[in-house]
Amino acid sequence: MDAIFDVRNLSVYYGDKIGIKDVSLQIYRNKVTAVIGPSGCGKSTFLRTLNRLVELVEGVRIEGRVLFDGKNIFDRDVDPVELRRRVGMVFQHPNPFPKSIFENVAYGPKIHGIKDREKLQEIVEDSLKKAALWDEVKDRLSESALGLSGGQQQRLCIARAIATNPEVILFDEPTSALDPIASSKIEELMIELKKRYTVIVVTHNIQQAARISDYTAFFWMGELVEYDRTEKIFEYPENELTERYITGRVG
Amino acid sequence: MDRLSKMKERIIVLFLALCAVMTLFVTVSIIAILLGESLLFFSKVSPVEFFTGTRWTPTIKPYSFGVLPLVIGTLMITIGAGLIAIPAGILSAIYLSEYASERTRNVLKPMLEILAGIPTVVYGFFAFAYITPYLKKIFPDMQAYNALSASIVVGIMIIPIVASISEDAIRAVPRSLREAGYALGARKPRVILTIVIPSALSGIVASFILGISRAVGETMAVTIAAGRTPRLANILNPDDWMKSIETMTAAMVEIGMSDVSGQSVAYKSLFAIGLTLFAMTFALNTVSYIVKMRFREVYR
């Protein structure tokens, strides 16, 4: 199968604290991969390593390799700006910029050098459609994004991530701040998005992982315990810890 | 025992409430005195003459009570100080919150706040004894008392206000907004310019206004450094900045220390200037408050 990310012996340390330890796995193209585990197990650290956002933390140290399309993202000649264009991210809490809806979506493309107004308009419309938000906001693109509901804001953040035309979209617990209806819309969207993008989602909602993902990785105290097809993980987990976690007996 | 401690608590609450009412009472009485004495003044000198007159000679015949020269003097100090403190303050704030390490910040921020605690009279003498002689080397025509040096020193004085409040506003911008910028591929300067500063803008503007309102009300430093020459200066003329002027506050000091009697019109004019000054700073503070409230709504 076609792996877009090939993670090899990845360890991340915060000072002398371990974030993740010796993780190796492959993420498959155009699939939804869920990363589950209890709080503090390193799942967010893992996700943030894939777009090198983890480097913003002072005193962080990274060992190992992450091959993205065969190229190690920590190589000297890799520009994090270009990496982040290709690997978009959606966060736990909806975090639109205090700007208009249009400016939010156009922010990424502008960074990457697109200035032509018509081209930007095209990208904004296309991204909002892909994020299933266009019909709700098409008449008020110039209004502040902060006037949208939480669920709409999160879909706007998805549109913003789509606008740079990425290959991968990382989701860091994207529904944990939303109500059930807004959450299910985001879930449907993530399944829809895998046609075009590779989706990696960190979640501590185990049912969500089961509903939407093709592959599931289970982290425990910084280590990757088990990684397999989602049905396999949920029906015949090999590791006893995995079984206990997904049945709600630990964590 | 229980009843006794309840009583104690009640007495303490009462005492605290009294203290709060006290400040309110003092504020209200100050405003009342300002208004009352000003009314007496305006019964002798018409408001039209006061607000549009161009000569301020309250103690020299022929008496004239035109406040404009003083307002111009205050404006010069305020504009000059703003031109220095606003850029310096915001740049310091950006450095402190976005670039300085935690250690550097822990040293610099308290130092900045100490700067705000130096008595203003010291700033005044600093301008008179150090800034003016230095400027004189560049501008030989400069007078010993002058608007330029006074506005520079007031500018330095309000940098801590602008920097400290702006820094608070910048730090209050949620981390997640910065992360969203970085995750889209923005580099640090762009994140600061297009996300952090616009998000903190109302707090930053509030800091400008508070700093400027402080410059408007500044007394000691300008009395010492700018002198006491009520003159209808031209703000746009550089030569006028080399000469002595008089601000509203300095004029109040002058009248207060002179030997005019408590019943004279000159003495009452002190309160009229005070009221005008109060109206100006009150308006500025209100604007700053409104701007700040707007800012608070953003991240509810």
Segment B162-173 mean pLDDT: 93
What is residue B298's predicted lDDT score, i.e. its pLDDT?
A: 54
Give chain A's residues under pLDDT 50: none
Q: How far apart are CA B82 and CA B209, in angstroms?
A: 9
Looking at the fold, whether B38 and B73 belong to one and the same domain comes out as: no
Res B261 pLDDT > 60: yes
Looking at the fold, whether B84 and B8 belong to one and the same domain comes out as: no
Q: How would residue B300 be classed by pLDDT, with cut points 50, 70 and 90?
A: very low
Looking at the fold, whether B121 and B29 belong to one and the same domain comes out as: no
Looking at the fold, whether B60 and B40 belong to one and the same domain comes out as: no
Res B81 pLDDT > 70: yes
Contact between A164 and B185 using a beta-carbon 8 Å cutoff = yes
What is residue B1's predicted lDDT score, i.e. its pLDDT?
A: 61
Contact between B177 and A95 using a beta-carbon 8 Å cutoff = yes
Q: How far apart are CA A42 and CA A225, in angstroms?
A: 12
Looking at the fold, whether B124 and B247 belong to one and the same domain comes out as: yes
What is residue A226's predicted lDDT score, i.e. its pLDDT?
A: 95
Q: Give the domain range for residue B15.
A: 2-44
The residues, ordered by sequence, that sit 6+ positions from A67 with a Cβ below 8 Å of its Cβ are: A5, A6, A7, A8, A73
Q: How far apart are CA B247 and CA B238, in angstroms?
A: 18
Looking at the fold, whether B228 and B261 belong to one and the same domain comes out as: yes
- Examine residue B62 and say whether the peptide bond preceding it is cis (omega within 30 degrees of 0): yes
Segment B174-179 mean pLDDT: 93
pTM attached to this predicted model: 0.83
Q: Enter the tokens of residue A59.
A: 């005193």
Of all residues in chain A, the one with the smallest CA distance to B189 is A111
8 Å CB contact between A189 and A155: yes
- Give the torsion through C-alpha atoms of B157, B163, B168, B170, to 10 deg: 160
- Interface A-B, measured as beta-carbon pairs within 8 A, has a size of 65
Q: How far apart are CA B167 and CA B171, in angstroms?
A: 6
The residues in A 55-94 lying below 8 A from B, measured between CB atoms, are 56, 58, 80-85, 88-89, 91-93
Looking at the fold, whether B10 and B137 belong to one and the same domain comes out as: no
What is residue A239's predicted lDDT score, i.e. its pLDDT?
A: 92
Res B69 pLDDT > 90: yes
ipTM higher than threshold 0.90: yes
Looking at the fold, whether B121 and B236 belong to one and the same domain comes out as: yes
The residues, ordered by sequence, that sit 6+ positions from B199 with a Cβ below 8 Å of its Cβ are: A97, A98, B173, B177, B298
The residues, ordered by sequence, that sit 6+ positions from A212 with a Cβ below 8 Å of its Cβ are: A32, A34, A187, A190, A191, A201
| Side chain identity, residue A159 | A
Looking at the fold, whether B35 and B144 belong to one and the same domain comes out as: no
Looking at the fold, whether B19 and B137 belong to one and the same domain comes out as: no
Q: How many domains does chain B have?
A: 2
Looking at the fold, whether B16 and B58 belong to one and the same domain comes out as: no
Q: Which helix (H) or strand (E) holds A25?
A: strand A17-28
Helix axes B68-94, B248-257, angle to 10 degrees: 120
Of all residues in chain B, the one with the smallest CA distance to A81 is B185
What is residue B294's predicted lDDT score, i.e. its pLDDT?
A: 74
Spell out which residues of chain B touch residue A114, defining contact as CB-CB under 8 Å. Answer: none
**What is the per-residue DSSP string for A144-200?**
BGGGS-HHHHHHHHHHHHHTT--SEEEEESTTTTS-HHHHHHHHHHHHHHTTTSEEE
Q: Residue ranges of the domains in chain A? A: 3-246
Closest CB from B174, B176, B185 relative to A84:
B185
Task: Report angle CA B195, B201, B203 to the nearest 5 degrees.
Answer: 130
**CATH at B203:** 1.10.3720.10
Classify domain A3-246 at the CATH topology level.
Rossmann fold (3.40.50)
Q: How far away is chain A from the Cα of B195, in angstroms, using its nearest Cα?
A: 7
What is residue A241's predicted lDDT score, i.e. its pLDDT?
A: 93
Res B18 pLDDT > 60: yes
8 Å CB contact between B268 and B186: no
Looking at the fold, whether B34 and B159 belong to one and the same domain comes out as: no
Res B145 pLDDT > 70: yes
